[in-house]
A and B are shown apart, each in its own frame.
Chain A
């Protein structure tokens, strides 16, 4: 069930970035998609259990979550965040000459 929700998020994000005409909306849709991907990592990390994987006092037989996907996705979150920031800044720059931010219009005016 959770897995289905995660995939639905990814698909909504993907189709949003294809079908939305506004450039800012496209970028936000891509962020939704990346949220889905991150959620999928978290989901896979919790396959074996949901306890925080920090060994305080060793408790045998406890179901800890897998720390590796969590650690890895942290990097991906930071990267995704910086890319979002870069894209939004360029959208702000583009918005001065194309206030509506219609992708097709921007594409038309910047074609060689």
Chain B
């Protein structure tokens, strides 16, 4: 029998080997890629089941150090599920082997992040992630895809340069790159490292690069980016918060701030994919808000968000106002609603246990803001739950909706410039809309049940969640959220400006973030 250390290293190398291997044998790319992803599911599951953590130091004192515990297990499981679902989704498409190679390189380097406990291995893995994600985003080779990919690479590389400077300062203080060394490092080192990880993880202001990238990338790539790639930035933060108690309050505070920021953007958003991207920012906040239980939340969010991106990417339009006037396929709409309900925290899905566990692990000062954020999540995702995918929701006339629909209809016939152009004249007649829609291939029907099944299984990780108090809390959250959703006019006149998403501002904001972080970590 192979011992655990060798097994871990073999498993770590497997996606990279398979990834480059299938480039030589393009005929078997998809089956082998799926097998590599399934391998991660098995390994992640066994890591959760194993009680004691496994520590590994490769070479000697300055070598790579790995730590496998249940926290890594949850993140690895997320990675395996989402990657497998994305491959299944792409099964029927005409994507070349290059795509799957990059996908597996991405998968393998994300796995590496979830094991590493030293700053340098994390740096290398994060940079490989940037390159692989760049190739995936730029895969369509259109001008816009290349620009979005270039922007992503530029932002993340600048952030990683700051991280690199921080890492050497930690080395200077400890003559080692291990995470524990952060304890003794000067405040500027901590600020630099945190900045790098916050940008990669899409946290707070430094995460505002994320909506455009996740919104404009191709559907399976968005699912991958939102489902797991942001977690690669989060995991080192969570690990640091657990290893270095001094950092824990700061990480929790950042989590709360991120949850509120993301939710307030999401509530005001009209575009379905950007709505999901903003929701990712807010969910990232929930993951950080309670580091000890971050793994479970990351798992349930990753599965649900990947399902949402795959589902929403197959809808005939992106604008929520247009979608409300269409008649949607019941199965697709139902699957989207189930995934959205999981993010809202409804049973019997993984989101229920995860949200209950996270809200139970909060510090007293976090409780009120995070419950507000939970209500905001419900309001934002209601836009997707109440799309007219069944006759009842189609007939549902909430207050203000009649007037709103009328104005949408009016803008059809009228000449309201850009808005009228977005609302295609096909709205209302499903036959015409179906021709313009990307036909949801057979891959979608493999991927969605897979992800939703994963969510149902994830529900079993925390059976203690099923108590009267958590049901009551959920009922109140959903009630308030749906109540506000019903009362709000369907498209708010207020739209937040997108100026902050310009490349210059994103890079400039990093210097501000650095100063703020420096003041926060000053003893």
Residues of A at under 8 Å CB distance from B? 10, 14, 17-19, 23, 26-27, 30, 33-34, 37, 40-41, 44, 47, 66, 68-69, 72, 75-76, 79-80, 82-83, 86-87, 90-91, 93-94, 97, 103-104, 106-107, 109-112
Contacts A18-B507, A37-B164, A69-B168; is A27 near B502 (CB within 8 Å)? no
Chain B residues whose C-beta falls within 8 Å of the C-beta of A17 in the assembled complex: 154, 158, 507
Chain A residues whose C-beta falls within 8 Å of the C-beta of B164 in the assembled complex: 37, 41, 76
In-complex Cβ contact of A110 among B120, B131, B144, B504 (8 A) = B144
A94 touches B143 (CB 8 A): yes
Chain B residues whose C-beta falls within 8 Å of the C-beta of A19 in the assembled complex: 504
B147 touches A94 (CB 8 A): yes
A72 touches B177 (CB 8 A): yes
**Interface range for B:** 35 or more
Chain B residues whose C-beta falls within 8 Å of the C-beta of A23 in the assembled complex: 150
One digit per residue, 1 when the CB lies within 8 angstroms of any chain A CB and 0 when it does not, for chain B 143-177 equals 11011111001100110010011001001100101
Give A43 Cβ to nearest chain B Cβ, in Å: 9
Secondary structure type dominating chain B contacts: helix
One digit per residue, 1 when the CB lies within 8 angstroms of any chain A CB and 0 when it does not, for chain B 58-81 equals 000010000000000000000000
Contacts A103-B504, A112-B271; is A93 near B146 (CB within 8 Å)? yes
Give B333 Cβ to nearest chain A Cβ, in Å: 23
Contacts A79-B127, A107-B503; is A94 near B150 (CB within 8 Å)? yes
B215 at interface (Cβ–Cβ under 8 A)? yes
Chain A residues whose C-beta falls within 8 Å of the C-beta of B175 in the assembled complex: 66, 68
- Docked pose: A26 CA to B62 CA in angstroms: 35
Contacts A37-B161, A41-B168; is A83 near B130 (CB within 8 Å)? yes
| 7 smallest beta-carbon distances between A and B, as pairs | A110-B144, A90-B150, A110-B147, A79-B127, A90-B146, A18-B508, A37-B164
- Docked pose: A23 CA to B164 CA in angstroms: 23
- Docked pose: A106 CA to B150 CA in angstroms: 11
Residues of B at under 8 Å CB distance from A? 62, 120, 123-124, 127-128, 130-131, 134, 138, 141, 143-144, 146-150, 153-154, 157-158, 161, 164-165, 168, 171-172, 175, 177, 212, 215-216, 271, 498, 502-504, 507-508, 511
In-complex Cβ contact of B165 among A10, A47, A90, A111 (8 A) = A10
In-complex Cβ contact of A37 among B62, B165, B503 (8 A) = B165
